[in-house]
């Protein structure tokens, strides 16, 4: 794979620009109340620029599966409008088709953190230490 002098690929640069522009479009142009506060957490553009997988989160409805489905439905229905609006600001021969996905990291991150903390507490209890070492509390790792 050939990389640009900037150190990352053309598809990464396109994805970054699309993410910035799409965030503004969703916030300013889509007035559907089912969207609430929508965040574009990432975009992955296919190598041939045919598709852009757009990862989104919806503030306040992380646990509401029906709300997430409705939000994704609104975005999917607006995909044509969003794609044509993006094409006006980003000069590409063909603008990738948008596919929207819910970003699970909002839910998975805190769950994984809780599992790690529980495992650390169990390890400390087994070893008989009263407090964890200072470097573990600070999140530092010695190598």
Q: Residue 76: inside a domain, yes or no?
A: yes
Domain that holds residue 61: 10-109
Are 13 and 6 spatial neighbours (Cβ–Cβ below 8 Å)? yes
The Cα–Cα gap between 75 and 83 comes to: 11
Tokens of 135: 């470097």
pTM of the model: 0.72
| Each residue's pLDDT tens digit, 24-63 | 999 999 988 888 889 999 999 999 999 999 999 988 776 7
Q: Is residue 143 part of a domain?
A: no
CA quadruple 28, 8, 49, 104: dihedral sign: negative
CATH number at residue 44: 3.30.300.20
Q: Is residue 98 part of a domain?
A: yes
Inside any domain, residue 114: no
Number of domains in the chain: 1
Please report whether residue 72 resides in a domain: yes
Above 80 in pLDDT, residue 100?
yes
Yes or no: say if 25 and 58 are a contact pair by the CB < 8 Å rule: no
């Amino acid at each position: 794979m050939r990389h640009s002098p900037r150190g990352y690929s053309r598809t990464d640069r396109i994805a970054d620009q699309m993410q910035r522009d799409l965030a503004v479009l969703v916030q300013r142009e889509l007035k559907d109340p089912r969207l609430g506060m929508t965040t574009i957490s990432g975009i992955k553009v296919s190598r041939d620029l045919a598709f852009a997988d757009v990862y989104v989160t919806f503030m306040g409805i992380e646990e509401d599966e029906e709300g997430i489905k409705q939000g994704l439905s609104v975005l999917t229905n607006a995909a044509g409008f969003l794609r044509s609006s993006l094409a006006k600001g980003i000069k590409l021969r063909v603008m990738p088709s948008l596919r929207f996905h819910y970003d699970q990291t909002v839910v998975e991150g805190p769950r994984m953190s809780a599992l790690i903390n529980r495992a650390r507490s169990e390890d400390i209890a087994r070893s008989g230490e009263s407090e964890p070492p200072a470097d573990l509390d600070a999140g530092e790792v010695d190598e």
